[in-house]
């Protein structure tokens, strides 16, 4: 079954909005694991507007499932954070400091040499590496050359098109997944996946190993409760 990694950035955003420690990010992460999630994802940014670097260090001490740290490896502080905390997986995302959220995958052709070097560094420390890519065959082929273990398909275009024509929306992702499978790249996915579009995506993408979901899941938890919501998302992946 495809694993569910819950991105807890939005919990940190809520905490930071008032200062203090309410909600308690560490307790929330432990509870999310207890409620059935297969992993916890964080995406610290240099301005620490949600996940703080100290959060990562505290999470490392207590998590019992997979720990996934996302971010842009061009930030030296991020690279050190990953190496010091040895997560199960690091997901490399080409975002900038000013971005509200990630909005594109890597150009694996243009940045091939850089990606090869940084991926080699993380893998030498025993950390599994995934890189954020658009569902474009050339980018998947380029990803293989970087030495990455996995790709994470950037699914915003799928989510936007899904209500209009789900078959057309999923088509480029099916082709991308087939190519990744041919090249023996593991497949993750994330961005704007939710209770409406997740089941169809998971059913149509062969060998989908993991989805990382944050904003939609935490938003749904306002209505359904955190424990129930984690389990609702898990059911979509069966």
161: Cα within 13 Å, side-chain hemisphere: 14
The region, left, alpha or beta by phi > 0 then psi within -120 to 50, assigned to residue 134 is beta
The full DSSP string for 113-143 is HHHHHHHHHHHHTT-EEEEEE-S-HHHHHHH
Q: Tally the C-alpha atoms within 13 A of residue 232's C-alpha that lie toward its C-beta.
A: 17
Positions annotated as catalytic residues are 43, 70, 191
User: What's the DSSP call for residue 52?
Assistant: -
Backbone dihedral angles phi then psi of residue 163, each to the nearest 5 degrees: -65, -20
CA distance 188 to 206: 11
- The DSSP secondary-structure symbol of 206 reads T
């Amino acid at each position: 079954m495809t694993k569910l990694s819950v991105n807890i950035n939005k919990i940190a955003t809520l905490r930071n909005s008032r200062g203090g420690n309410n909600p308690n990010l560490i307790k929330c992460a432990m509870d999310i694991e207890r409620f059935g999630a297969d992993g916890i994802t964080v995406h610290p940014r240099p301005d620490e507007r949600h996940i703080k670097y100290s959060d990562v260090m505290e999470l490392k001490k207590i998590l019992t499932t997979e720990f996934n740290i996302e971010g842009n490896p061009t930030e030296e502080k991020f690279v050190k954070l990953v190496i010091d905390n040895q997560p199960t997986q690091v997901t490399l995302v080409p975002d900038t400091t000013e971005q509200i959220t990630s909005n594109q995958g890597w150009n694996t052709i243009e940045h091939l040499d850089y990606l090869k070097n940084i991926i080699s560094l993380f893998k030498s420390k025993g950390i599994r590496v995934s890189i954020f890519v658009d569902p474009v065959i050339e980018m998947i082929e380029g990803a293989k050359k970087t030495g990455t273990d996995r790709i994470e398909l950037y699914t915003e275009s799928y989510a936007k098109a899904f209500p209009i024509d789900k078959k057309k929306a999923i088509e480029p992702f099916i082709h991308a997944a087939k190519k990744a499978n041919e090249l023996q790249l593991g497949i993750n996915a994330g961005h704007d996946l939710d209770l409406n579009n997740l089941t169809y995506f998971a059913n149509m993408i062969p060998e989908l190993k993991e989805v990382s979901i944050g904003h939609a899941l935490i938003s749904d938890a306002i209505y359904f409760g955190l424990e129930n919501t984690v389990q609702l998302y898990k059911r979509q992946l069966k």
